[in-house]
Amino acid sequence: MRWPWPFSVLRRKRPATPAAQRAGAWGERVAADFLEHKGYRILGRNVRFGSRCELDLVARSPAPDTLVFVEVKTRRREDHGRPFSAVDRAKRRALGRAAVRYLRRVKAKPAHVRFDVVEVVGAPDGPPPVVRHVESAFSLGPGYRLPW
């Protein structure tokens, strides 16, 4: 039997292993601590809307009336590039979709919205991690509008 499209299209994303989940949770804690040290107020962690819409961190920036949606990328090493490179177009669209859903439920609408990426390179059992904060990493993509 011939497939009408390449078989690779049918494959689903592998679920993360428990070790990868622990490393990701550790990276999110490190990122939250880092942002709090910079003056951000963490409003939410792992905010979910359905099975595919998740916001790692939602924070209030020290800048006046700015809501920040933060994607945290954790890697042990940078052998295959920076963690930021994993935030591809599909991930940006999913983050935009989740952000719009979040903003629809918020009573007090912020004046500014921003998408940041925090890279955490290291491991919980190793030396102190390298943490990089990329502010305004991307914008809300085409096809999405702020709900006000």
Q: How confident is the model at residue 34 (pLDDT cuts 50, 70, 90)?
A: very high
Share of the chain above pLDDT 90, in %: 67
Q: Could you tell me the residue ranges of all domains in the chain?
A: 16-137
Strands of the sheet containing 112-121, edge to edge, are: 41-49, 53-60, 66-75, 112-121, 130-138
Instruction: Find the angle CA(16)-CA(12)-CA(1) to the nearest 5 degrees.
Output: 150
Q: What is the CATH number of domain 16-137?
A: 3.40.1350.10
pLDDT attached to residue 18:
86
Q: Which one is predicted more confidently, 10 or 77? A: 77
Residue 143 has pLDDT above 90, yes or no: no
